[in-house]
Structure 1
Amino acid sequence: MHDDRVLIERRIARILRERLRPAVHGADVPLSVGAWHAPGEPVPVADALRAPYRPARAGEAWGPAWGTSWFHVTGSVPPEWAGRTVEAVIDLGFATDRPGFSAEALVHTPDGAAVKGLNPMNTWLRVADRAAGGEPVDLYVEAAANPLVQGVGSPLGEVHTAGRDPLYHLRRVVLAVFDAPVWELVQDVEVLTGLMHELSVDDPRRWEILRTLQHAFDVLDLRDVPGSAAAVRAALAPALTAPATASAHRVSAVGHAHIDSAWLWPLRETVRKVARTVSNVLTLMDSDPGFVFAMSSAQQWAWMQEHRPDVWERMRKKVAEGQLLPVGGMWVESDTNMPGGEALARQLVHGKRFFLDELGVETEEVWLPDSFGYTAALPQLVRLSASRWFLTQKISWSQFNRFPHHTFWWEGLDGTRVFTHFPPVDTYNAELSGAEMAHLVRNFADKGLAHRSLVPFGHGDGGGGPTREMLARAARLRDLEGSARVEVEPPARFFAKAFEDYPQAPVWVGELYLETHRGTYTSQAGNKRGNRRSEHLLYEAELWAATAAVRTGHPYPYDDLDRIWKSVLLHQFHDILPGSSIAWVHRESRETYARLAGELEAIIAAAQRALAGDPGAGGEVVFNAAPHDRDGVPARGASRVGEPQPPVTRTAHEGGYVLDNGLVRATIDARGLLVSVVDAASGRDAIAPGSPANLLQLHPDLPAEYDAWDVDHAYRNTVIDLTDVEVLEPVADAAVRVVRRFGRSRVTQVISLPPGAGRVDVDTEVDWHESETFLKVAFPLDVRAERSAAETQFGYVYRATDTNTTWEAAKYEICAHRYLHVTEPGFGVALVNDSTYGHDVTRTVRPAANGTAGGTTTTVRLSLLRAPRFPDPDTDQGVHRMRYALVPGADLADATREGHRLNLPERRVPGDTEVAPLVRVDHDGVVVSAVKLADDGSGDVVVRLYEALGARAAARLDLGFAAAAVTATDLLERPGGEAPPFDGTGVELALGPFQVVTLRCTRPQGPLE
């Protein structure tokens, strides 16, 4: 019986492959083809339509990597095909079996309007539903020779190194008769065979399908497939009409195309990918009014508005008709580990506002299927953006622990909960196959409690979207025995049903840590630095521009700030900021960050000049945007130069040096290593005895797969300590310079103590030329810390320092923003940085002479550089500068303050005016994250602040300007929440732990004060 089954299944597969699929497009005639190869970058459609075309033929080579070729395809429908359905079939020589990673094309009419995309899984274009015969065919095909970038060291990821040899050959350009009955038969067979193979051999339904297929294929005339297709379908009908059981799992199928805004292709190509995909989707909508497609990333919609107005207008129509659905509410599907709190808020602000302003749609889902872990700050931001639901799929990639739920409440830092769903189909590129449906039913973690899940279907990553074959499967799986029940419907409808079905879903508290792709916290360090610097420059630009506007009437640069924010948000996409894109993408991102920094510096300088007064008066104004303790300079204000700080001393000591500023005493030994850092207030030495700090360490770094993405835990098994010193010398300002060489690289460090600051600064420059190597810097601390506190957006997250469970052991590389803090009762230490995100924290016990514990060393390490070779073979090669600092005796308030100070240095401007703070907070644990003018141009001042220490805070926000009223708003500056008490000069705030509050301060009409 087993051999009989196997033989039948093989026969079915062969007939499907060799007889049915080839018969879908039967008779064909060649089309005439002209070719024009665009020089360099893609050209506007209008230019291509006027270009000189030369004759081309099947088999002709075209397309050097990243090149664009245009093909003019002409012909006419043969008269004898009258009454038949006719399609153009255009195969450009596609190199893979999936779209988005090979040649792609967009078909245009002679007037330049986009019609439909072409890719390896979608080579057809409808010419006539019912031909009259003689219809002319006149098409322009914009073909992109996108290479499949694969393999370590591939030069294809950079246009300058990819070469000029053609990658593709024209394979087939024909007019063909589309045989609808044969196509329908193919869909019948594929659905039944897919379902059959997923059912147990002990399931009678499997055998029923097998015997039905066997009988149906006995009816098939192999010499006349079209003529016998209807009879075969009739024989299959009983297997396709058997209804699903009442308890069958319910699937909400949502058309989707997860298009990475950049990855194995540059940003400019994503614009074209979106146009191709959306054109395909719109074509499907025209033929199937029940089809809905969810599209995230407002940036991608904005690209169509800017670059393809013809496509944009069709999109607007389908949005109005309810078929094309904006989702996500974010500017791009960003990384959520590394963007700062304000940036993550602006992702939602700019995304949701675009959909509201341009399409009149209030998105309610935060849609992030593919980011590499999810910050615990997100639930609060989701709700503050007036969104209700959260969706991701990526957690199914975790390597060690299976997440216990697919539908649940996710509770964030502050206690906010958001209803969340992980599609159990375990892909955001589903094809609605029988295998996928069977997997999601088996995989669903909430069986017996919940009864439905969502499936995003459509080719993604590189685009393409749903196909007509997928919609055919959905129709057949709507009510089919042995399968889940499938219904194509909007995600909002799914979430409403899921919530009604499972309102008492379990709760997951804290971050959604992804147990893979940990290397993304470090890869492409230049990107990380560019992002961090851009975020802080934007903060300063808004603060000082708002202050200058209120104080002096200086023009507020609304449009420039809006544009710059959107550029920074774009580059936080989850394959750009994480460092997992091709060389071309990262080269452009570094250039963009440099350009934006210049623009922001100019905005800041102009605002500060307007505030500083007479530059020729001989004075100097100090502008400081960092928070300070209550005895320091007022937060968010400027002043004349204050009292000088006590001097820093440097003395020679046993071949090294001792630095002392009265708050910290740091000892540097003859190897240039920190062997002691004493906090003067407590007298405690932060460095563990016998274990030097600021110790650079090298590890081999060749993960099992996903080079730029992953850091495998086995890397720790091999380590080289960099203790040889080439130069150890005093430098100006009582600092010490240390130079080391290793391999082909060189490190220069300047160790110093800032006057009046309780920290040790290390300014590091690395000329990095290693390969597949991980560079870390270790700080072994004499602290018994049971957990670490890592700054995240609008607060911090605790993580255990032990490895008692697999969940804890899996977090061997963690993300932190400006600080990582460890403490024992009575004494803590912070490590702060200006551009680094990757960290690890481990504990060891120092034995005493009698075998008891002699003390605990908690080692905190910063991950400085990596050197993966895929997808960018030259990742991080070159010069990098990074600053970090050790803060002994620090509590969380100190860590927060010093982290800000390292990222927001003072600025000194010639002038004679003391500038009072625009706003001032009287509580060390309350941090202002934004001071700006309202986005609507009203001139109102918007202040966003948060409780940073995880405690309740009663704070007063004083306003340094006249305000008529202060109201609480959502992130989009719309009224929402309880208004705080306002007494004319400030407001009293009662903040919960990690609470984020946005206040809109309405300024009175009339002249500026």
Structure 2
Amino acid sequence: MHDDRKLVEARLERVLRERVRPAVHPVTTPLAVEIWSTAGEPVPVAEGLTAPTTPIAPGTPWGLPWGTSWFKVTGTVPTEWAGRTVEAVLDLGFTPRTPGFQCEGLVHLPDGTPVKGLHPRNAYVRVGAPVAGGEQVHWRVEAASNPDLEASGVPFRPTPMGERATAGEAPQYVLGEMRLAVFDETVWNLVMDLEVLGELMAELPLDGARRWEILRAVGRALDAVDLQDVNGTARAARDELAGVLAAPAAPAAHRVSAVGHAHIDSAWLWPLRETVRKVARTASNMTALLDEDPDFVFTMSQAQQYAWIKEHRPEVYARVKKAVADGRFVPAGGMWVESDTNMPGSEAMARQFVLGKRFFMEEFGVENDEAWLPDTFGFAAGLPQIIKAAGSTRLLTQKISWSRTNTFPHHTFSWEGIDGTRIFTHFPPVDSYNCEMTGRQIAHAARNFKEKGVATRSLAPTGYGDGGGGTTREMVAKAARMRSLEGAARVEWEAPADFFAKAEAEYPEPPVWVGELYLELHRATLTSQAGTKRGNRRSESLLTEAELWAATAAARTRTPYPYEELDRIWKTVLLHQFHDILPGSSIAWVHREARETYARVAEELESIIAGAQRALAGDASGGTVLAFNSAPHTRCSVPAGGASAHTEQGETVPPAPREGGGYVLDNGLLRVEIDARGLVVSAHDRDADREAIAPGQAANLLQLHPDFPNQWDAWDVDAFYRNVGSDLTEVAELTVEGASVRVERSFGASRVTQRLSVPADTKRLDIDTEVDWHETERFLKLAFPLDVKADRYASETQFGHVYRPTHQNTSWEWAKFEACNHRFLHVDEPGWGVAVVNDATYGHDVTRTVRTGADAGTTTTVRASLLRAPRYPDPETDQGVHRFRHALVPGATIGDAVREGLRANLPERRVTGSAAEVAPLVTVDNDAVVVSAVKLADDRSGDLVVRLYEAHGGRARATVRIDAFATGRAVLTDLLERPLPDTEPPAAAGGGVELALRPFQMVTLRLPRA
């Protein structure tokens, strides 16, 4: 016992670092290196292969920011190395930081054949095993000099490097050594033995016999190593370890299903175009590793990334397709990208699965049964129904382990959504989607697993991700040693489907979690980059309209349906819902391109809509004005239900002076008082004789807070932001502009202009806000203090709404101090409520206070989050002009909130033509049933597809009438428009289809042309 464990552990670390690891490549010889660089966009491979090069020596700076360099690497294997294993070690100038965040390369043969990728933890290229000696080495390496945005070692420091125009021209890297080397496999295996045992030993109990058994064996192995002749004594050292490595794991040991993985962000600290190359490099690495190890299995999600390889690197794609056919390279998740799931609208969330699953089926003949979202920032409560409707039954994520306040109580459970659908869900207890197969991580997974005693299995996504790279041969070697090793969990390579099948079989009745999976972190992603968020919402709305009007024109006038255009646009919009684009957490380059893309998308969709509506309206010289509605305009119509010749609403009422200053807007249904500060001090529902605004308070109140989170600038808003804030009550100008009250304010370096109006014949106050924003590290909110006692409020999510508490009884409720909604929020008391609707915002908070004094009433304050100004990763986040539209709807039911939210996002359109009226293509006779999509079937059969859902949260019966289609032959389908098995077709009734829906149930109907 005198051999102190700390001495052995310290000795092990030093001997590995200074003697054993260097001996893996005991003999080396330099390679000749030449370079050609371009500062612009990446060139085609053929051009890079033939570009003229000049010599470059180790230690030479290279690589403009975001540039590309092609290295020519040549040499000859020494004849004296014959019979030995030889590989090249190619150092582009790597630093010890994690792969994926610095320079990377892809090695090619002279004919352009990809060999494998290069990154700091995977810099070797095998030449031969064994070599004959005299082999000629000739490679071309495409190397990306992407800036390391955290190279200073200070995370989240504002940097101009995230935009090519501001990144400068300083070389980013210094070329390291490029050498041929003898590879000593025995020494390399000794490194793996010692690392696995050392890592395991550190995790075992101090007083356990197994720890001391390993300690003694490691000590003997180190004694057996001659530090002056590591290569000659490595075998003897391995022999000393053979016994402890052969001891099998206990029968009850936790079982880890390892799957090779490289979670690659489709954009983040690099632009989209760089992800195309990251995916190609990683796929090349992984197909090469699959060839080396027969047990290894790799999985990759995101159909978009496969599509990029197919388009840009067909030679890499051919290798991927073969590996998929062999069952070794496994497409996962069945989504177009690993999207955010909080903010995408109903149809967009559905189309993520439709387009992703269809791609995998068409390209590989594979249909996934799992959704794969390891890094998404929380999960909306409507998602289970969407997953199931897409034909899947499972979900994997680990991001909830990042929550800062509460520890989620399960790792394997059944997740129930708002409609009652349940999905078998697994959170890997390894708490990482970048597992490196270390002893510490595997021991953590076993200790951390919360289902001990009723389940035995967890999954470990293994490999470098975020910026790519994937699994390494070292990870594979460690997994092999832990396949059955006493003191460790049992590790086995398995595809996700195999893991899920075994996990469900052993745990058929897991605990149930109901409602959203809220991430107690990254709440500010609901607000950052307002321009990106507006572009997403507008694109979703325009796609809804484009499909509706194109389908209507095809049915009425035989106008060709724009299948290719809509498919391409949907894929573009879905790509930009990736969980670092839509949430606003990418570099400036990404969001600049996103805004430009959304502008092009809007222009193209407007053209599709206009073309369809012109076809429907007839000759423009006819002079008839048709009003086309994609949102409900009467109680018996539906959001995507048709077109009519009457207007959506009457004129807006003119303002009148208010005693004491300000103005009054009164249409006989709603009386709104705006005081001299431009604030709403009264919103009186005349029918109910009820005031919406809390006594002594004011709505339409802009509030400004400091915003400097502890870390993750673009991602986080910390609760302490609420401790300090200011109300923006100073008014620069208050005037009447047409039928609106115009309010101007200045604060800091920014300016706000608002227009407040009340349309005739509706209880709705419209508030249009324009902000010229030039603040830094500030958070802007728009507040509505309401005289409503509500313990909970409704927030729209996909295909329905979710309820959240207004109080903070528990830490779980306190943690939801910033949450997501779509088009509306609704608070109510029995019999009376208020809605706040929007056309572009997602983040919000709802709080409640009890007033003092004789009143003693409750104020429920709804605040919409408008703008932030974080400085990392985009130091100019949201600078410039932004426009928002909100509406306050006193006396609103949930149905009113649904209707007004849709109206705010799907405005009426007017077209001049000769047609007298265009009847709706689809009508529904129940206001609780909302149509979310009307389109032609994706298989181009001409069939009509209608998707609808119950929107109020109760049971509903409805008759759906579809003109020009044979409704008697309607069938119920899944999201991919395939008939549902064991399901009776809906009954025909009254010239339509009769449906009975449970709360929030979503249904897809397919109808052949009459």
| Shorter-chain TM-score tier | over 0.9
| Alignment pair present for 1:960 and 2:963 | yes
The superposition leaves residues 59-103 of structure 1 with CA deviations (integer Å, 9 ceiling, x where unpaired) of 111011111111000111100000010101100111343110011
Structure 1, residues 159-193: CA drift from partner, whole Å, max 9, x if none?
11111000111111010001000001100000000
Mapping of residues 455-534 of structure 1, within 5 Å: 455-534=460-539
2: CA distance, partners of 1:681 / 1:147: 62
Q: Which residue of 2 aligns with 1:926?
A: 929
Secondary structure, in 3 states, of the residue corresponding to 2:776? Answer: coil
Alpha-carbon distance in 2 for matches of 1:96, 1:986: 66
Does structure 2 conserve the Cα–Cα contact (< 8 Å) formed by 1:95 and 1:103? no
Match of 2:954 among 951, 954, 965: 951
**Alignment counterpart, residue 448 of structure 1, candidates 435, 444, 453:** 453
Work out whether 1:689 is the aligned partner of 2:671: no
What is the match of residue 673 of structure 1?
A: 679
For the 8 Å contact 1:676–1:685, the answer to whether it is kept is yes
Within the alignment, does 1:969 sit opposite 2:973 as a pair? yes
Instruction: Provide the secondary structure at the position in 1 that maps to 2:892.
Output: coil
Q: Which residue does 2:44 correspond to in 1?
A: 44
Work out whether residues 620 and 641 of structure 1, in 8 Å CA contact, stay in contact via their aligned partners in 2.
no
Matches within 5 A, 1:643-722: 645=650, 648-653=653-658, 654-722=660-728
The partner residue of 2:591 within 582, 586, 590 is 586
How many angstroms apart in 1 are the aligned matches of 2:215 and 2:639? Answer: 79
Aligned CA distance change for structure 1 residues 240 and 826 (closer, same or farther; 3 Å): same
Residue identity in the other structure for 1:515:
E
Distance 2:586 2:910 in 1: 39
- Equivalent residues of 1:627, 1:927 under 8 A apart: no
- Are residue 979 (structure 1) and residue 991 (structure 2) matched? no
Q: Residue in 2 aligned with 1:175?
A: 180
Partner of 2:899: 897
For residues 236 and 633 of structure 1, what CA distance do their matches in structure 2 show? 73
Structure 1 631/503 Cα, relative in aligned 2: closer, same or farther at 3 Å? closer
The letter of the residue matching 2:136 is P
Tell which deviates more after alignment, 329-338 or 957-966. Answer: 957-966
Distance in 1 between residues matched to 2:189 and 2:914, nearest whole Å: 81
What is the rounded CA distance, in whole Å, between the counterparts of 1:109 and 1:148 in structure 2? 28
Residues 254-333 of structure 1: pairs in structure 2 closer than 5 A: 254-333=259-338
- Alpha-carbon distance between aligned partners in 2 of 1:167 and 1:809, rounded to the nearest angstrom: 45
The residue type equivalent to 2:516 in the other structure is E
CA change 1:235–1:708 in 2 (3 A) is same
Task: State how far apart, in whole Å, the 2-side matches of 1:193 and 1:635 are.
Answer: 63
CA gap of 1:288–1:3, structure 2 versus 1, over 3 A, is: closer
Give, in angstroms, the shift of residue 57 of structure 1.
Answer: 1.1
Q: Is the 8 A contact 2:72 2:138 kept in 1?
A: yes
Q: Distance in 2 between matches of 1:30 and 1:756?
A: 83
Q: TM-score, normalised by structure 2?
A: 0.98
Q: Distance in 1 between matches of 2:115 and 2:56?
A: 22
Cα deviation for residue 204 of structure 1 reads 1.1
Which string of whole-angstrom CA distances, capped at 9 and with x for unpartnered residues, describes residues 262-317 of structure 1? 00000000000001101110011111121111110000000011000001111110
Task: Say if 1:830 and 1:888, in contact at 8 Å, map to a contact too.
Answer: yes
1:642, distance to aligned residue in structure 2 (A): 4.7
Pick which of 919-928 and 840-849 moved more: 840-849
Q: Which amino acid aligns with 1:100?
A: G
Query: Deviation per CA, 1:806-831, whole angstroms, max 9, x where unpaired?
Result: 00000000100000000011210000
1:556 aligns with 2:566: no
Alignment match of 2:232 (pick from 227, 244, 250):
227
Alignment gaps of 5+ in structure 2: 151-155
Given the superposition, is the C-alpha separation of residues 948 and 200 from structure 1 closer, same or farther in structure 2, using an over 3 Å criterion?
A: same
Deviation at 1:707, TM superposition (A): 0.4
Distance (whole Å) between structure 2 residues aligned to residue 58 and residue 788 of structure 1: 63
User: How far apart are residue 641 of structure 1 and its match?
Assistant: 3.7
Corresponding residue SS for 2:88: strand
Contact 2:819 2:843 in 1 (8 A): yes
Q: Aligned residue for 1:58?
A: 58
Q: 1:877 to 1:365 in 2, by over 3 A?
A: same
Match of 2:15 in 1: 15
Is contact 2:839-2:886 (8 Å) kept?
yes
Cα offsets for 1:869-912 (capped at 9, x unmatched):
00000000000001000000001000000000000110001013
The verdict on how the C-alpha distance between 1:2 and 1:747 changes in structure 2, with shifts beyond 3 A counting, is farther
Change (3 A) 1:342 1:1001: same
Task: Give CA deviations for 1:722-761 in whole Å, capped at 9, x if unaligned.
Answer: 00000100011x2100000000000000001123332100
1:3 to partner: Cα distance: 7.9
Secondary structure of the 2:622 match is coil
Aligned to 1:815: 820
Mapped pair 1:90 → 2:96: no
Instruction: Report the alpha carbon displacement of residue 240 of structure 1 after superposing the two structures with TM.
Output: 0.3
Counterparts of 1:178-257 in structure 2 under 5 Å?
178-257=183-262
Shift of 1:776: 0.1
Please tell me whether the aligned partners of residues 87 and 126 of structure 2 are also in contact (alpha carbons under 8 angstroms).
Answer: yes
Counterpart of 2:105 in 1: which secondary structure? strand
Q: Which amino acid aligns with 1:898?
A: E
Classify the secondary structure of the residue corresponding to 2:27. Answer: strand
Identify if the C-alpha distance between structure 1 residues 421 and 806 changes in structure 2 by more than 3 Å, giving closer, same or farther: same
Secondary structure at 1:828's aligned position in 2? strand
Alpha-carbon distance in 2 for matches of 1:463, 1:597? 32
In structure 2, how many angstroms separate the alpha carbons of the residues matched to 1:644 and 1:845? 38
| Cα offset, 1:334, TM superposition | 0.1
Q: Distance in 2 between matches of 1:287 and 1:669?
A: 75
Deviation (angstroms), 1:504: 1.3
Verify the 8 A CA contact 1:815 1:838 in the aligned structure 2: yes
Instruction: Map 1:328-477; keep pairs closer than 5 Å.
Output: 328-477=333-482
Retained in 1: the 8 A contact 2:959–2:989? no
Task: Report if the CA contact (8 A) 2:637-2:927 is conserved.
Answer: no
Letter in 2 for 1:894: D
- The amino acid that maps onto 2:775 is E
- Structure 1 pair 918–643 and aligned structure 2 pair: CA distance change class (3 A): closer
Tell me, yes or no, if the aligned pair for 2:436 and 2:463 is still in contact at 8 Å: yes
Q: Indicate the percent of aligned positions where both proteins have the same amino acid.
A: 66
Structure 1 position 984, deviation (Å): 8.2
CA distance 1:634–1:8, shift in 2 (3 Å): closer
Contact 1:635–1:917 (CA under 8 A) maintained in structure 2 = no
Amino acid at match of 1:907: R
Which whole-Å CA distance do the structure 1 matches of 2:922 and 2:953 have between them?
22
Is 1:630 the equivalent of 2:632? no
Shift of 1:217: 1.0
Contact 1:646 1:662 in 2 (8 A): no
- The superposition leaves residues 465-518 of structure 1 with CA deviations (integer Å, 9 ceiling, x where unpaired) of 000000000100000000000111111111011011111110000100000000
Q: Once the 2 structures are TM-superposed, how far is the Cα of residue 660 of structure 1 from its aligned partner?
A: 1.3
Instruction: Label 1:260 to 1:2 Cα distance change in 2 as closer, same or farther (>3 A).
Output: farther
CA distance in 1, matches of 2:123, 2:169: 26
Check if 1:907 corresponds to 2:912.
no
**1:430/1:2 CA distance change after superposition, 3 Å:** farther
Give the distance between the partners of 1:736 and 1:630, measured in 2 at CA. 29
List gaps (5 residues or longer) in structure 1: 1005-1009
Q: Tell whether the 8 Å contact from 1:634 to 1:920 is kept in structure 2 after alignment.
A: no
Match of 2:731 in 1: 725
Q: CA RMSD in A?
A: 1.2
Structure 1 counterpart of 2:153 = none
Give 1:1007's aligned residue. none
Separation (CA, whole Å) in 1 of partners of 2:761 and 2:474: 69
Give the alignment's TM-score, normalised by structure 1.
0.98
